[in-house]
């Protein structure tokens, strides 16, 4: 009885081993079959799976023209003549005297009188001179900012306005009159109070 039981268990073990082998073989055959299907597919399409690399090139167009903008742009103009542009009267004598003030030798060229903002400085007034033929002050300077240099070249901006420190005196002839002029800054503006003001490119 014991011997029969042992033979039975051995036969069961052999059967289990056979089934495991069959299952393993079937699984391998199934994998190989799938690989063969894929191989046949790519051969029929004549395609090879590969990594695709995309590359590109940046091209810049450079235009070389005669007369291109060169910074700083040299500019000149008029910013104050005899008269009363606002409250105070500026006499020709005081305008001529202001040329000798050492603080007026050079001062900032700015935007819209934003004289407390360093970022609004776009250049400098390099020198001034009194012109008796217009009874006023001519100025020469330069602009470092490309945008505003181009706006002056295009004639979009053609006016200036000065911030002026002065003592005041009241006379019977001219009323409230400015004395001892000091120019703090000259600004590019759309509409200056001085009727004869001007900015243009210094040829």
pLDDT tens, residue by residue, 1-23: 666 656 656 666 765 665 565 45
Q: What tens digit of pLDDT does each residue of 78-91 get? A: 999 999 999 999 99
**Residue of 71, 90, 69 whose CA lies nearest to 197:** 90
Q: Which residue shows structure tokens 């295009």? A: 154
Task: Report CA Rg, the chain.
Answer: 45
pTM of the entire structure? 0.66
Residues 64 and 58: their CA atoms lie apart, in Å, by: 19
Residues 1 and 4: their CA atoms lie apart, in Å, by: 5
Report the pLDDT value the prediction gives residue 126, as an integer from 0 to 100.
Answer: 98
Which spans in the chain are helix H? 2-45, 92-98, 146-153
Q: What tens digit of pLDDT does each residue of 39-62 get? A: 665 565 554 444 444 454 545 444
């Amino acid at each position: 009885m014991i011997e029969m039981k042992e033979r039975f268990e051995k036969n069961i073990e052999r059967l289990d081993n056979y089934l495991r082998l069959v299952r393993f073989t079937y699984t391998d055959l199934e994998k190989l079959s799938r690989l063969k299907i894929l191989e046949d597919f790519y051969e029929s399409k004549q395609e090879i799976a590969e990594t695709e690399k995309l590359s590109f090139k940046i091209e810049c167009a450079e235009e070389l023209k005669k007369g291109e903008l060169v910074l700083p742009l040299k500019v000149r103009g008029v910013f104050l003549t005899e008269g009363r542009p606002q409250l105070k009267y500026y006499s020709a004598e005081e305008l001529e005297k202001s040329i000798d003030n050492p603080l007026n030798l050079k001062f900032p060229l700015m935007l819209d009188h934003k004289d407390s903002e360093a970022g609004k400085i776009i250049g400098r007034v390099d020198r001034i001179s009194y012109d008796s033929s217009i009874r006023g002050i001519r100025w020469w300077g330069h602009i470092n900012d490309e945008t505003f240099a181009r706006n002056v070249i295009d004639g979009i901006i053609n006016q200036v306005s000065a911030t002026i420190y002065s003592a005041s005196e009241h006379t019977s002839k001219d009323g409230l009159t400015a004395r001892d002029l000091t120019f703090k800054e000259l600004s590019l503006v759309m509409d200056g109070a001085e009727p004869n003001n001007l900015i243009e490119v210094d040829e």
